[in-house]
Amino acid sequence: MAHPTFSTPPAPLPDISLRHIDPVAYPEGVAFMDGQYLPVSEAKISVLDWGLLHSDATYDTAHVWNGRFFRLNLHLDRFFGGLDRLRMRIPYDRTQVTAILENSVALSGHRAAYVEMICTRGSSPTFSRDPRQAVNRFIAFAVPFGSVANAEQLERGLDIAISDVVRIPPGSVDPQIKNYHWLDLVKGLYDAYDRRAETALVLDSHGNIAEGPGFNVFIVRDGALTTPAYGVLPGITRRSVFDLCIEEGLRCTARDVSVGDLRGADEVFITSTAGGIMPVCRIEGAPIGLGRPGPITRRLADLYWAKHEDPAWSSPVTYPL
């Protein structure tokens, strides 16, 4: 086959090499990997790890606030439940994982931290596609605390878009297993940015509201709270809202939430370990209710942060002197 000819020289390709040099500095933090603690910037996995190649991994993210872990036992329950469902095994029991997480935070010195525990499928010594031959890998790290919403957004409320992207159905990937299958959520985020919104909600396979990138959603109507029930991760902060509602005598149910329900709500908020209870006050520029964080959202958010000092909800980190 003959090579193509050009009447004029082709335009030179743009130099995009600089774009592929990582411009982001690693956060200050500590990781645990292969039996040792090290700076988070030095924690690396093989390019052959199925966690990278196949997104074959589970994880959980807890947080530390004012030097105290918040509801760590619930995060450990979910993490070890995910290991069992995925037939993964790590060489540490629950008590040892707890100690690793606490040590990572203590060594980092962070009193407000984002703390992650991860198990990847690992890789096979023979590059086999049989997952039974892979050696599972456990990793943990503690870095500075981060939030889905920044301080200004927490004060005025987020502007959110409703993407028509459909979340992976639970018959394909069990949403009770916290996972890195985020391509649907990333597409939803780009939909939101195209519509000049700040984050996104995606739909479930029945056309109802599901969840967003790393968060659950609640609506408030006539003083009662509702959150989607189908195909969503049962978030720890989501559970905390249910527990707070019981204490406060507020009605809270998990059921289908339609797009119309969301648009017609008095208040909307999202929940995540990364930020807690965060108000949503606009949908693609259109105000929700009065267009500002509502009284129930504010009340629950205040109670949520107060619980961080409650020994029944939190546990202290022992830092080196």
At CB < 8 A and 24+ separation, what contacts does 3-11 make?
Answer: none
What is the pLDDT averaged over residues 164-185? Answer: 95
Q: Are 134 and 159 within one domain?
A: no
Q: Within a domain: residue 190?
A: yes
Residue 5 forms part of a structural domain: no
Cβ neighbours of residue 292 closer than 8 Å, sequence gap 6 or more? 156, 157, 281
Q: Count structural domains, the chain.
A: 2
Q: Tell me if 20 is assigned to some domain.
A: no
Band (pLDDT 50/70/90 cuts) for residue 16 is low
169 and 140 in a common domain:
no
- pTM of the shown model: 0.91
Average pLDDT, the chain: 93
Residue 310, pLDDT score: 98
Give the residue-averaged pLDDT of 2-23.
54
Residue ending a domain, choose from 144, 166, 185: 144
DSSP, collapsed to helix, strand or coil, labels residue 66 as coil
With a pLDDT cut of 90, the percent of the chain lying above it is 89
Domain boundary among 80, 110, 144: 144
Confidence category of residue 11, pLDDT binned at 50, 70, 90: low
Residue 4: the pLDDT is 42
Same domain, yes or no, for 216 and 116?
A: no
Confidence of residue 7 (pLDDT cuts 50, 70, 90): very low
Q: What is the pLDDT of residue 28?
A: 94
* Residue 61 pLDDT: 98
224 φ, ψ (degrees, to nearest 5): -110, 145
Verify that 156 and 299 share a domain, yes or no: yes
Q: Are residues 80 and 204 in the same domain?
A: no
Residue 244 near residue 303 (C-beta atoms within 8 A): yes
Q: Is 290 a member of any domain? A: yes
What lies within 8 Å, CB to CB, of 93 at 6+ separation is: none
Q: Domain for residue 2, yes or no? A: no
Structural domain boundaries enclosing 131: 27-144
Tell me the CA distances in angstroms from 112 to 67, 105, 160, 164, 275, one per residue in order.
Answer: 6, 9, 27, 35, 11
- pLDDT recorded at residue 225: 98
Strands in 314-316's sheet, in edge-to-edge order, are 36-39, 30-33, 135-144, 113-123, 57-65, 68-70, 314-316
The length of the chain in residues reads 321
Residues 71 and 39 placed together within one structural domain of the fold: yes
> Residue 313: inside a domain, yes or no?
no
Distance CA 282, CA 203 (A): 18
- Asked if residue 78 and residue 162 are part of one domain, the reply reads no
Cα–Cα distances in angstroms (integers) from residue 58 to residues 118, 138, 174, in the given order: 6, 10, 11
CATH number, domain containing residue 161: 3.20.10.10
**Looking at the structure, do residues 43 and 125 belong to the same domain, yes or no?**
yes
- Report if residue 214 sits inside a domain: yes
Task: Annotate 226-269 with DSSP letters as a single string.
Answer: EE--SS----HHHHHHHHHHHHHT--EEE----HHHHHT-SEEE
Statement to judge: residues 137 and 175 lie in one domain: no
Contact 66, 309 (CB under 8 A): yes
Report, as an integer, the average pLDDT of 242-265. 98
Whether residues 43 and 75 fall in one domain: yes
CB 128 within 8 A of CB 50: no
Cα dist. 31→42, 77, 110, 122 in Å?
8, 21, 13, 17
Q: Report which of residues 23 and 307 the model is more confident about.
A: 307
Top pLDDT among 269 and 124 is at 269
Q: Distance (Å, rounded) from C-alpha 72 to C-alpha 74?
A: 5
Q: What is the pLDDT of residues 112-140, one digit of tens each?
A: 999 999 999 999 888 889 999 999 999 99
The set of long-range contacts for 193-199, using a CB threshold of 8 Å and a minimum separation of 24, is 195/161, 195/284, 196/159, 196/284, 196/285, 197/159, 197/160, 197/161, 197/282, 197/283, 197/284, 197/285, 198/153, 198/158, 198/159, 198/160, 199/148, 199/158, 199/160, 199/161, 199/270
The verdict on 184 and 280 lying in the same domain is yes
pLDDT value at 277 more than 70: yes
pLDDT digits (tens, 9 = 90+) for 193-220: 999 999 999 999 999 999 999 999 999 9
Residue 110 lies in a domain: yes
- What would the pLDDT profile of 302-311 be if each residue is shown by its tens digit? 999 999 999 9
Residues 229, 170 within the same domain? yes
User: Of the residues 144, 160, 183, which one is the last residue of a structural domain?
Assistant: 144
Query: Measured between alpha carbons, how far is 166 from 295 in angstroms, rounded to an integer?
Result: 31
**Comparing 17 with 85, which gets the higher pLDDT?**
85
Lowest mean pLDDT of 1-5, 44-48, 277-281, name the range: 1-5
Which pLDDT belongs to residue 96?
Answer: 98
Phi/psi of residue 113, each to 5°? -140, 150
